[in-house]
Structure 1
Amino acid sequence: MSDNYVLQAYIWRFCLRCPMPNFSIHPKLAHLSDSQMDNLMTRYYAGETIVDLLGEFKIDCNPHHLFKLFPPIIHSFLVCPHCDAAMMSPRISRSAHYETTMRCFQCRHEDTSRCKCDHCRNRRTTLDSGKVLRNVFDIKNASSGQTEKLSIQPDNLTLEQAVALLSLLRCPGVAYADVIAVSAAFSMATVPFAPKGNYGHTLIQKLGQAKLLSVLNSAAPDNFSVFGNELRIETPFPIFWNISRTSRTNLIHGIEQRVAQGEWPRHWPEQLPDLVRVLAFAEIKEFYDYCAKQRGLPASAPRSTSMMLNNLIQDYSVAQCYRMIYAGAKAAADFLVRASCAPQHAANYMIGACQRWVDRARAENWEVTPFHRHHELPRSMISHVLYDDFLKRGDDGFNLALDKIARPKM
């Protein structure tokens, strides 16, 4: 039986008891009792012949469309950030290898950067107009005296700082701004700055260490979040450049010229393996968190999770790690149902499931089938800049194991 769908069939028992507006059983399934619906979905996702199921349960529909009639999945541990109603997601075919987008049945909010619910549309309109930022900060007063006449050369930066700087400047509305309103605009971009998680925050801190910019979190009002870990916060928060626009332009030109001519500063090639590994870790951690969230699992033990994910990327590409993480997430969902355990226990079980999978793959010399990038987790600007501009390797950072990503010829 498909591991992912044992949990889905189990959650159906709660559907009719949840006070969800606009929720109704499809008319073609209205004649089935709760137990019959449980039985139908369990057997469908177990792989039984669909035509036989349609005949036995007296359902008139195209066999390929049966899963579309099933009730949605209720994510009982996840609530809408706007109205606190439970989040739901539609069923997918048992042969599908993708995840669906969660949405709120009450306010129609979707867990995606392209959400078109009233709240998100109003928020984007407010952010675009700059009203929130102007009401909270007097930009002229806040930024006065912030720009210093610093002379920073490419050689003064680490490789990670150089890549982060180019990536940040290619995000929407940043290149020519003296004040950067970090907001949902970054997450709405087709290409995000960095993978979701702590890595984006870390990169901004390192640009601050290079004295390129300042993050004024000490001046933030109480109702403001600090600068978001993934450049995705509810209210805009300004950061200021410490160097003038002319200095930024000259610095960027210097970096791009060195990259184009293959004349990297001496310390950059030495720092490349660490940067490649850190970015790969950020990408698989992003996918790990996504898979856990889709199954309603809380955060697992951070140290154990990091150790396991680092073990995965020792021998496998990010694309292959996706495959192993997906298998571990399905096993955890199955365990949650079979053991009737607490969600936190299942979340920790997911760590062990992924580790057992990779141990077996190594021991039996499996050919691990890679996954494609998930449409909800697009390739980041950091990846584009590092692999397209600096290394000229396309998406090798996703498709190749770390030891196969060669250093550039200097």
Structure 2
Amino acid sequence: MGDSTIQIKIDKKLEHLGEEEIATLINRYYSNEKAKSLVEEYKIEINPSKLYTLFPPIIYEDKLCIYCGKPMLIKRPSKSSCGYGRNNAYCINCGHEDSHFCNCSYCREKIKLEEIKLEEEQKKIVQDKRNLINDTYDLNKYKPVRIEDLGFREKVFLGALLRTALTEDMKIIKPLEVAERKLAPTLNYTKEILITLLSKDVIVVSPDSKIEAFVDSSSEKEFPQTYYINKVIYILNIEIKEDYEEEIATLINPKEMNEESKSEALEIWKEIALEECLEYLNYQMDKVKFDFTPGEKTIAVFKDLLEHFSVAQIYGIIYRCIANSTKYYQETNIGRKQAANSVVGACQRYGERALVEKWDLIKYHRAYDIPQSMIGEFFLNRVTRIGDLGFEMSPIIL
């Protein structure tokens, strides 16, 4: 810091006036005397409206520049702007301004240093998170699972997952959010498939997953315990003794299903059929802007319908009942929520009436906007090899 003395240069247009005259002029100006009269009296060559711009700034002896220690100055305001805010104090020596928007060399350097500091702090945060992820999901913690120890259900789920997201080198399972196909008809069934495989350590979360794949938390105890199932990378934790590619290919392209697996296969077929019905229900509800979340009652209704009808036929039931509920909503005073809630009951009644009256229900095609999921395609075309019959028949026998 230098000394606190400062010299104010008087504007050339006021040089013909003494200090006392300038002080008097300033006092008279702010006492609301007409600027035009003052300009004429003091013989100042300037537009009267700009007179205040010639006045020397106010010196704040008690407010020193934070960088060079010189007293800060403030430009004098016009009469019309008095009381409507103040000009920012500034330093005539180094150019600093008492403002968040100051662009002096010192402030620019300060901002640069703060940015560097922030960047270093962010790098440390990222590195700390990466270390936590590496420790939590250390692959050495997991014992590889033998293929022969996998049950039929795990093999079906794993085969569908590998077909969905296995990389070309067959080493890792890329995040499902970037896969070209959906693993399962619904998010809930996707979760069930992944949880089944994760619980048996058939697949494990890769420590190389993006940090954004883990739910952020200020608590080190929580991060990175929770993650987004569609965002993380998975590692195939299978014990391979001989030909790696050949054994993985066996999981992706299994041989024909044996008789012992048919009861389990039937259960998986029922699950896929149910999830496809729920997927189509949500799809059609969204199209008419009905806010609806399937619950246990909805699941029970569609499980019962699948005992008698195929997914293709239930598509038709859903479509008809939503159309009727939409028409009812438009023609009456019922609320949209009530109309949405009436759909499932209508589907149940329609199915029961169809059974009693022995209707031959139309089989709908798959909706273009919701193509068959990978688990459905893999299971019906490769595992059970019943193909489109899995969509057109009721899942009651294999």
Aligned counterpart for 2:237 among listed residues 223, 236, 242: 242
1:300, distance to aligned residue in structure 2 (A) = 4.3
Matched, 1:351 2:344: yes
Distance 1:204-1:151 versus aligned 2 partners, 3 A rule? closer
Matched, 1:201 2:197: no
CA contact (8 A) 1:147 1:243 kept: no
1:353, distance to aligned residue in structure 2 (A) = 1.4
Q: TM-score, normalised by structure 2?
A: 0.57
CA distance in 2, matches of 1:274, 1:346: 32
Counterpart of 2:267, as a letter, is D
CA contact (8 A) 2:160 2:252 kept: no
Counterpart of 2:278, as a letter, is K
Distance 1:218-1:349 versus aligned 2 partners, 3 A rule? same
Q: Percent same amino acid at aligned positions?
A: 21
Q: TM-score, normalised by structure 1?
A: 0.55
CA distance in 2, matches of 1:358, 1:332: 16
Matched, 1:315 2:294: no
CA distance in 1, matches of 2:168, 2:258: 25
* Equivalent in the alignment of 1:260: 255
Show CA shifts across 1:314-357 (max 9, x none). 11111001000111111221222233222221111111111121
Distance 1:185-1:134 versus aligned 2 partners, 3 A rule? farther
* Equivalent in the alignment of 2:378: 385
1:288, distance to aligned residue in structure 2 (A) = 0.6
Structure 1 segment 5-404 matched on structure 2, within 5 A: 137=130, 144-146=138-140, 148-154=142-148, 156-174=149-167, 176=169, 178-186=171-179, 189=180, 191-215=181-205, 220-222=215-217, 226-228=227-229, 231=230, 236-243=231-238, 249=245, 251-253=247-249, 255=251, 259-260=254-255, 263=258, 266=260, 268-300=261-293, 302-403=295-396
CA contact (8 A) 1:301 1:348 kept: no
SS in 1 for 2:238: coil
Q: How many residues align?
A: 260
Show CA shifts across 1:182-226 (max 9, x none). 24312xx1x321112311110000011222123489953249984
Higher relative contact order (CA 8 A, sep 6+): 1
Q: Which has the larger radius of gyration?
A: 2
SS in 1 for 2:255: helix
CA distance in 1, matches of 2:171, 2:216: 21
Range with bigger deviation, 277-286 or 175-184: 175-184
Distance 1:238-1:151 versus aligned 2 partners, 3 A rule? closer
Counterpart of 2:186, as a letter, is K
CA contact (8 A) 1:168 1:174 kept: no
CA distance in 2, matches of 1:335, 1:246: 63
CA-based RMSD of the aligned residues comes to: 3.4
Counterpart of 1:153, as a letter, is I
